[in-house]
Amino acid sequence: MHDNIFAAPRDRIGDFSFDDTVANVFPDMIRRSVPGYSNIVSAIGMFTAKFSRPDTKLYDLGCSLGACSIEMNRYAAEGCEVIGIDNSEAMVSRAREIVKGYKGNGKVNIIAGDITDFEFEPSSVVVLNFVLQFIAPEKRDALMKKIADSLVPGGILVLSEKFKFADETIQNTLFDLHLDFKKANGYSDLEISQKRTSLENVLISDEVPTHIARLKNCGFSHASVWYQCFNFGSIIAIK
Q: Which residues are annotated as a binding site?
A: 37, 62-64, 86-87, 114-115, 129, 196
Neighbour count for residue 82 (Cβ, 10 Å): 30
User: What are the angstrom distances between the C-alpha of 63 and each of 34, 127, 203?
Assistant: 16, 9, 17
* Residue 162 near residue 130, CB atoms below 8 Å: yes
Sheet strands (E) in the chain: 57-61, 81-86, 107-112, 123-129, 151-164, 206-207, 222-229, 232-238
CA–CA gap between residue 209 and residue 234 (Å, rounded): 13
Compute and round to an integer the Cα radius of gyration of the chain. Answer: 17
CA-based nearest residue to 156, from 70, 75, 66, 35: 75
Where is the binding site for S-adenosyl-L-methionine, in residues?
Answer: 37, 62-64, 86-87, 114-115, 129, 196
CA–CA gap between residue 147 and residue 119 (Å, rounded): 9
Any idea what DSSP says for residue 133? G
CA-based nearest residue to 196, from 155, 158, 235, 162: 162
Neighbour count for residue 50 (Cβ, 10 Å): 11
